[in-house]
Amino acid sequence: MASDDLWILGIHMTKFGKHTDLDVIDLASEAAMGALADGGVTMADMGVLAAGCLMQANAPIGQMLQKQIGQTGIPVYNVSNACATGATALRVAAMAVKAGEADFGLAVGVEKLAGAGLLAGGSRKDDAPTWTPKGRYGAVAPVDGRIGTEIMPGVFAQIGMEYGHRYGGTSFELFARISEKNHAHSTLNPLAAYQKRFTLEEIMGDLMIAYPNTRPMCSANTDGAAAVVVTSGAKLRTLSLEQQRRAVKVSASILTSDPWTESCQVLPDVNTLTRNAATAAYEASGVSPADLDLVELHDCFATAELVHYDNLMLCPDGGAVDFFESGAPFRDGRLPVNVSGGLQSKGHPIAATGIANIWEVATHLRGEAGDRQIEGAKVGLAHVIGLGSACGVHILEKAAV
């Protein structure tokens, strides 16, 4: 029977960082078994599995994972959707549960990225003096150095500078202060890859990657995995009171891609699909930005965090600088953002990030975040974006039990 409501029953993430003695299946297994145990269920209860690993997108990660944690014959979906891969895996499991095809769904995201360096996004195009179109995609000339850039540090540096030109108030120091905030938050997160406070001078004086983002202002490529078990409200009501108490309601689960706009159709646009996803999430959940108690957003670069304050409607249009200067996004502020330390500190094992951001919000709503706990947190938003492009926004609410 189709279900209108969806609940997170169990969720888990590994420590992000460098795991030289573990492969992707080891990490995925740790996350999956952790989520099952957290929810008080087993692999035998699962009716669907969705798994993502962007760097091994051609491998049957889900089936390989089943061989480790329980090969039960259920449908397995292997997903790949840039940095939104984990959020997409969750959407797949959620849709199966909401359609009534499964009582429980398991979604997993995993990546081995420690030491990967700059991810440029696939093989280089031929950059010879003469250009010969080859196939549909090959009929588009390389972008870099011609009309802009497709390389991630450049893209996100550009959107930060564009925001400043449009609304004013930005500076190199302002973006560095956003990074300073997130690194300070990370000191309270034992699962973050880096738990080190940086001074503003250290951040601004470090290696420049793409102005205005220095190295500490960029997300860290790490190893890691995260997994989540979802179920319907009807099934949840048959479980123990403790399981019901710790369950977290998924009030909105939205995935968007780039819509048609009159602007350039070649260069990435991280703003429009995020704003569209946020708008749809608020409408679906009946929650407004004013109702949020915390936000985990995709701060792949310090510049990205600033523009997403605006895209997620945490502030009025053009008000991101004022929002930050008010102290709102700090852990002790009105609307804490990235209390986990964000991607700049927690790390960014691409396919795991979407679920890891949800794990952070869910942990606060359960009141289980320890020293970094946002007291009284009842509603939170998790956001992730992948160039290409895909954006996932989930709004979560504390159980009423």
Active-site residue, selected from the candidate residues 298, 348, 364, 383: 348
Model pLDDT, residue 121: 45
Whether 315 is catalytic is no
pLDDT tens digits, residue range 334-366? Answer: 999 999 999 999 999 999 999 999 999 999 999
Going along the chain from its start, the domains and CATH numbers come out as 6-117+222-247 (3.40.47.10), 152-217+251-398 (3.40.47.10)
Q: What is the mean pLDDT of the chain?
A: 93
Provide CB contacts within 8 A for 247, sequence distance 6+: 7, 8, 9, 231, 236, 399, 401
Q: Give the other-Cβ count within 10 Å of 288's Cβ.
A: 10
Q: In terms of C-beta distances under 8 Å and separation of at least 24 residues, what long-range contacts does 367-372 make, across chains too?
A: 369/339, 370/188, 370/190, 371/188, 372/185, 372/188, 372/189, 372/331, 372/339, 372/340
How does DSSP classify residue 236? H
Residue-level pLDDT at 37: 98
Cα–Cα–Cα angle for 380, 269, 389, rounded to 5 degrees: 70
Q: Provide the pLDDT for residue 132.
A: 72
> What is the pTM (predicted TM-score) of this model?
0.94
| Catalytic residue from among 83, 218, 300, 315 | 83
pLDDT at 123 (0 to 100): 46
The single-letter code of the amino acid at 158 is: Q
Please give the chain's pLDDT, 401 residues, in tens: 566 799 999 999 999 999 999 999 999 999 999 999 999 999 999 999 999 999 999 899 999 999 999 999 999 999 999 999 999 999 999 999 999 999 999 999 999 998 776 554 444 455 566 767 677 666 666 667 777 787 889 999 999 999 999 999 999 999 999 999 999 999 999 999 999 999 999 999 999 999 999 999 999 899 999 999 999 999 999 999 999 999 999 999 999 999 988 777 777 889 999 999 999 999 999 999 999 999 999 999 999 999 999 999 999 999 999 999 999 999 999 999 999 999 999 999 999 999 999 999 999 999 999 999 999 999 999 999 998 899 999 999 998 76
pLDDT of residue 122: 43
Compute the distance between CA of residue 277 and CA of residue 284 in angstroms, rounded to an integer. 10
Q: Where are the beta strands (DSSP E) in 22-92?
A: 48-52, 76-79
Distance CA 25, CA 41 (A): 20
pLDDT tens track for 129-146: 676 767 766 666 666 777
The C-alpha angle 213, 305, 327, rounded to 5 degrees, equals 110
The DSSP output letter for 335 is S
**pLDDT on residue 124:** 47
> What does the pLDDT read at residue 291?
98
Question: Has 19 been annotated as catalytic?
Answer: no
